[in-house]
């Protein structure tokens, strides 16, 4: 089979998925990234990555390809799911170092996503069984369910509002987690500011009812994000720090009534910092993995914010090879992060480049478990296509 005709060509000198891209100090060989995907397969009870996790990431590593490792809590209060690897203990650092070494052995570039879930948790995950923390004591709507540490489905509890005096400690936890990621050998870090988790809870008006310097107007609601970003930059330098946002997302009870004023301010505030990239989640895929989501007639984050953002823009959410290539060629984004189809196609860059068929994913194996649905998806046998 002649696969040459299946390769991406834009017809002119426009970039494509397989054009090189400079992100911070790293020269990527293609523009197809692994999105940060929660898979809940860390070692227990340490919540450290294990050899199976290293195998998973190494399978998806390519020379000059960017992997964004799964969201990792920056402190023990940051959990809302079982089996998630953290980045706040020596054992977790050691586990992540093996993952990083495996990816580097394949020539890949790997960033770690830093995470605190805030109210998207349950007291059974919290040290001492206390309530989860949040900017304000605002409960996630009862139609959305969560799980306890022993797997029972329950409604969310009302979180405890952080005291003003506690917020610097949370910022320091991000700073220390950034140091830990550096010690583990990562190439950079991505701050998770999307999907209704702690940073977005501070940003959005319905979850932030504070009357101190972290609440009220847009500038005050943005303060926590900016303090976290500055703390992480102190460790890494801006050129190796990314940030993920979901301006039109609805995951975990999130959603700003009019996102443009808030997120335009956020993007404009970030512009002078010189971040490695900004990473958007397209609103058509804002369910955060809970279900198959394809919202219709919603705005495009990349189209709306590309004119405002001055740096590298990554976007994610329901892309195919063709739509990803079109978005890059049109200048709407510089790179595309793939999630679900990267799970079931560990050699996804090669498959898309050569036009090989994709293996369908099995949603039932996304979270928890072991090898099944994690490291047992085969790479495409190119010899069979010759």
106 close to 59: Cβ distance less than 8 angstroms: no
Q: Which long-range contacts (CB under 8 A, 24 or more apart) does 95-98 make?
A: 95/42, 95/43, 95/46, 95/48, 95/49, 95/50, 95/53, 96/48, 96/49, 96/69, 96/72, 96/181, 96/184, 96/185, 96/186, 97/183, 97/184, 97/185, 98/49, 98/51, 98/54
**Residue 274 has which token pair?**
């010189």
Q: Which long-range contacts (CB under 8 A, 24 or more apart) does 355-363 make?
A: 355/3, 355/5, 355/6, 355/7, 356/3, 356/380, 356/382, 356/385, 363/292
Provide the 3-class DSSP secondary structure of residue 221.
helix
How far, in Å, CA of 37 to CA of 15, rounded? 26
155 close to 142: Cβ distance less than 8 angstroms: yes
Q: Kindly tell me the number of DSSP H helices and DSSP E strands found in the chain.
A: 10, 14
Catalytic residue among 56, 79, 174, 197: 197
How far, in Å, CA of 329 to CA of 281, rounded? 19
Query: In the 8-state DSSP scheme, what is residue 164?
Result: G
* Termini Cα distance of the chain: 5
Catalytic site residue 197?
A: yes
* Residue 113: C-alpha distances to residues 70, 149, 207 (Å): 6, 23, 23
**Residue 277 has which token pair?**
């990239």
Q: Which long-range contacts (CB under 8 A, 24 or more apart) does 14-18 make?
A: 14/328, 14/329, 14/331, 15/328, 15/329, 15/334, 16/325, 16/328, 16/329, 17/321, 17/324, 17/325, 17/328, 17/336, 17/352, 17/353, 18/349, 18/353
The catalytic site residues sit at 197
């Amino acid at each position: 089979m002649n696969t040459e005709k299946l390769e991406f060509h834009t017809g002119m000198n426009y970039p494509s998925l397989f054009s090189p891209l400079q992100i911070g100090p790293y020269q990527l060989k293609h523009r197809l990234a692994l999105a940060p995907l929660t898979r809940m397969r860390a070692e227990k009870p340490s919540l450290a990555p294990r050899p199976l996790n290293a195998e998973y990431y190494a399978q998806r590593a390519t020379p000059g390809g960017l992997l964004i490792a799964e969201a990792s809590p920056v402190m023990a209060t940051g959990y809302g799911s079982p089996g998630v690897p953290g980045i706040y203990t020596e054992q977790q650092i050691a586990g992540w170092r093996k993952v990083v070494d495996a990816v580097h052995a394949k020539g890949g570039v790997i960033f770690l996503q830093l995470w605190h879930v805030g109210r998207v948790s349950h007291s059974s995950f919290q040290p001492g069984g206390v309530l989860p923390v949040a900017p304000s004591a605002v409960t996630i709507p009862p139609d959305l369910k969560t799980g306890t540490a022993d797997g029972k489905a329950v409604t969310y509890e009302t979180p405890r509002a952080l005291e003003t005096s506690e917020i610097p400690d949370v910022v320091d936890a991000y700073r220390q987690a950034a140091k830990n990621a550096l010690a583990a050998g990562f190439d950079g870090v991505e701050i998770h500011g999307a999907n209704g988790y702690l940073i977005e809870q501070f940003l959005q008006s319905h979850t932030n009812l504070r009357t101190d310097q972290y609440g009220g107007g847009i500038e005050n609601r943005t303060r926590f994000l900016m303090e976290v970003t500055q703390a992480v930059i102190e460790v890494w330098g801006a050129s190796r720090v990314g940030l993920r946002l979901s301006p039109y997302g609805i995951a975990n009870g999130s959603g700003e009534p009019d996102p443009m004023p808030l997120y335009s301010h956020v993007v404009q505030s970030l512009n002078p910092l010189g971040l490695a990239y900004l990473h958007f989640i397209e609103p058509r895929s804002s369910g955060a993995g809970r279900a198959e989501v394809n919202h219709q007639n919603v705005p495009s984050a990349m189209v709306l914010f590309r004119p405002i953002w001055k740096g590298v823009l990554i976007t994610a959410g329901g892309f195919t090879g063709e739509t990803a290539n079109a978005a890059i060629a049109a200048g709407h984004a510089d790179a595309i992060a793939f999630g679900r189809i990267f799970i079931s196609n560990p050699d996804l860059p090669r498959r898309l480049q050569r036009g090989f068929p994709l293996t369908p994913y099995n949603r039932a194996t996304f979270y928890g478990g072991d090898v099944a649905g994690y490291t047992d998806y085969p790479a495409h046998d190119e010899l069979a296509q010759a």
